[in-house]
């Protein structure tokens, strides 16, 4: 199975307003979203999402796969922990054995 890195990453936080202030005011990223509860930040060449979550996480990188369920099985078999798995087109979070969290997205 081949995993391909996306140019998207996210921060899941319970401090969305504080994060938006920091990333727009301090780092100067433009917020392309009109939703006051989340952000779609232009961190060229990346898209950086700041999203509300009652279970805050550090950065969440995104990986594309051709087969979501096969990816889940392969990740589990290789020591990853499934943190949230909502299915195709929704959040599917896995944490690798080194602590990095990925959102697995079927392309």
pLDDT in tens, 18-49: 999 999 999 999 999 998 888 999 999 999 99
* Average pLDDT value for the chain: 94
At 51, the pLDDT band (50, 70, 90 cuts) reads very high
CA distances from 95 to 16, 19, 76 (A): 22, 23, 10
The predicted model gives 81-94 an average pLDDT of 96
- The better pLDDT of the pair 72, 1 is held by 72
Contacts 24+ apart (CB under 8 A), 30-36: none
Give pTM, 2 decimals.
Answer: 0.83
């Amino acid at each position: 199975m081949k995993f391909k890195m996306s140019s998207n990453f996210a921060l899941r936080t319970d401090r969305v307003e504080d994060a938006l202030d920091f990333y727009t005011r301090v780092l100067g990223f433009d917020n392309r979203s009109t939703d006051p509860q989340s952000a779609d930040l232009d961190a060229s060449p990346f898209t950086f999402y700041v999203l509300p979550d009652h279970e805050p996480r550090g950065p969440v990188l995104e990986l594309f796969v051709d087969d979501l369920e096969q990816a889940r099985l392969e990740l589990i078999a290789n020591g990853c922990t499934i943190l949230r798995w909502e299915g195709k087109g929704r959040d599917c979070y896995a944490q690798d054995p080194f602590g990095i969290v990925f959102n697995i997205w079927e392309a």
